[in-house]
């Protein structure tokens, strides 16, 4: 029966793509209609199932892991297309499965963890960060973490946790033989993204004390009233440089040179490094994989729009993510342009008030010529910029194709395009034309 499911999934994907769709979720939907327990059956043959989650960076982290495994000729499956909800994950297991493959690396939407874990339990779980994101979908962060904790409890899962995020380390009590990764307090001076999401101890409710902060709630924290504190780490970034691509070392080891920009990606690289080490890969294999990865999925993707101009495309769907994307311009010394694209479709979260929590003052010291606001909520973006008194020419065009066409007319060497979730695909397509 499983072989029939696999064949049906591949045929469904083919039909979906012929109809102009991606075909990432539909096979899973069809299989689940036939057999509600199909995911459990498909996943039963795997010895190692790794989940990767976090509000920001889970796709990049998962793709870094998958790319490295591929470069090193390891057998695995991975939902590299970002189909990270239940039906997409079913599709991944059905379509990619091979007889001898025993490792699955699965990016999972943090809001889908409960649904997916009704059917499968991972052996390892990489958790990178939690930020306020799509409140109308997930609720507040405390609610989300409590929900995830309820799913983890009693499962004996090895958690691989970002030690610098107190939201993440709150989940440590639910894991077994946990591994921690983090960035040394003096390894890199992050841009000031603003926004501190976590202020209070999860144990006693007392305000947390920070000895140093990387950005937002990420840093070295402790509670003055109880024993909750930043845990000791196994994998520690001891040096990092961003110029604009990241070079970093772990535990004072050899420098790894990458093709990823954006200093927040240091955490994604470290999360991938930590998991790969725990899977038993050698240092030289990890260095080769991480060093050769280039994004093609709108996460710090570099797109040449002419012989002389390049766009850095990066998805952002919450204040922390948008702040980090805006900060990319801080390392560019030439005049630059921006394209900001904001939709409010269901998958985005209907509440876009989070743009008012974004620190657009990050742009103040950048040499910006033009900012194009596009998407269904382009006017709100322009209004938000007006209140920040950004000294740039602001253009409003809700039509994404027209907005990209306008961007391509500018002579400046660099532009930064920042769409939210449902705006990403169209923005990427138009930039690549």
351 labelled catalytic: yes
The tokens 């382009």 sit on which residue? 378
Q: What are phi and psi of 271, to 5 degrees?
A: -60, -45
User: What tokens does 351 get?
Assistant: 């509440």
| Whether residue 244 has a cis bond before it, omega within 30° of 0 | yes
| Sign of the torsion angle spanned by Cα atoms 213, 217, 222, 228 | negative
Distance separating alpha carbons of residues 152 and 171, to the nearest angstrom: 8
Annotated catalytic residue: which of 75, 87, 351, 357?
351
For residue 104 the two structure tokens come to: 């699955």
DSSP codes of every residue in 31-59? HHHH-TTHHHHHHTT-SEEEEEE-SSSHH
Residues 6 or more apart in contact with residue 160 via CB below 8 angstroms: 124, 125, 126, 127, 178, 179, 180, 181, 271, 274, 275, 278
Instruction: Give, as one character, the DSSP assignment of residue 225.
Output: S
Q: How far apart are CA 397 and CA 78, in angstroms?
A: 37
Active site residues: 351
């Amino acid at each position: 029966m499983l072989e029939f499911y696999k064949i049906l999934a591949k045929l469904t994907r083919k039909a979906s793509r012929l109809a102009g769709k991606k075909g990432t979720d539909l096979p899973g939907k069809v299989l689940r209609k036939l057999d509600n327990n199909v995911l459990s059956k498909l996943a039963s043959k795997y010895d190692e199932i790794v989940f990767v989650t976090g509000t920001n960076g889970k796709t990049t982290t998962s793709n870094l892991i998958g790319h490295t495994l591929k470069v090193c000729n390891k057998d695995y499956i991975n939902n590299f297309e970002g189909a990270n909800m239940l039906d997409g994950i079913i599709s991944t297991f059905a379509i990619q499965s091979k007889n001898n493959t025993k490792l699955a690396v699965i990016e999972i939407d943090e809001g889908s963890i409960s649904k997916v874990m009704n059917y499968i339990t991972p052996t390892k779980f990489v958790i990178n960060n939690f930020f306020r994101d799509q409140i109308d979908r997930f609720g507040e962060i405390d609610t989300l973490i409590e929900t995830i904790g309820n799913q983890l409890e009693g499962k004996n899962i090895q958690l691989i946790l970002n030690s610098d995020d107190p939201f993440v380390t709150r989940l440590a009590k639910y894991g077994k033989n946990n591994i921690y990764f983090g960035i040394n307090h003096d390894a890199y001076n992050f841009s000031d993204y603003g926004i501190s999401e976590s202020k209070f101890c999860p144990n006693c409710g007392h305000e947390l004390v920070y000895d140093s902060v990387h950005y937002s709630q990420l840093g070295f924290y402790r509670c003055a009233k109880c024993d909750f504190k930043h845990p000791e780490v196994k994998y520690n970034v001891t040096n990092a440089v961003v110029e604009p691509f990241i070079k970093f070392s772990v535990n004072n080891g050899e420098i790894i040179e990458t093709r990823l920009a954006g200093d927040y990606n240091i955490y994604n690289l470290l999360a991938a490094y930590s998991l790969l080490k725990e899977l038993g890969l050698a240092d030289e294999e990890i260095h080769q994989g991480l060093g050769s990865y280039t994004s093609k999925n709108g996460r710090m993707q570099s797109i040449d729009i002419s012989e002389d101009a390049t766009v850095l495309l990066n998805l952002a769907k919450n204040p922390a993510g948008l702040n980090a994307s805006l900060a990319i311009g801080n390392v560019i010394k030439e005049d630059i342009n921006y394209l900001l694209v904001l939709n409010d479709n269901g998958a985005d979260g209907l509440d876009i008030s989070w743009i008012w929590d974004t620190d657009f003052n990050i742009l103040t010291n950048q040499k910006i010529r033009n900012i194009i606001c596009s998407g269904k909520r382009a006017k709100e973006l322009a209004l938000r910029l007006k209140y920040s008194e950004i000294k740039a020419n602001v253009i409003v065009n809700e039509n994404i194709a027209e907005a990209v066409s306008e961007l391509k007319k500018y002579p400046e060497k660099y532009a930064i395009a920042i769409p939210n979730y449902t705006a990403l695909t169209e923005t990427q397509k138009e930039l690549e034309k």
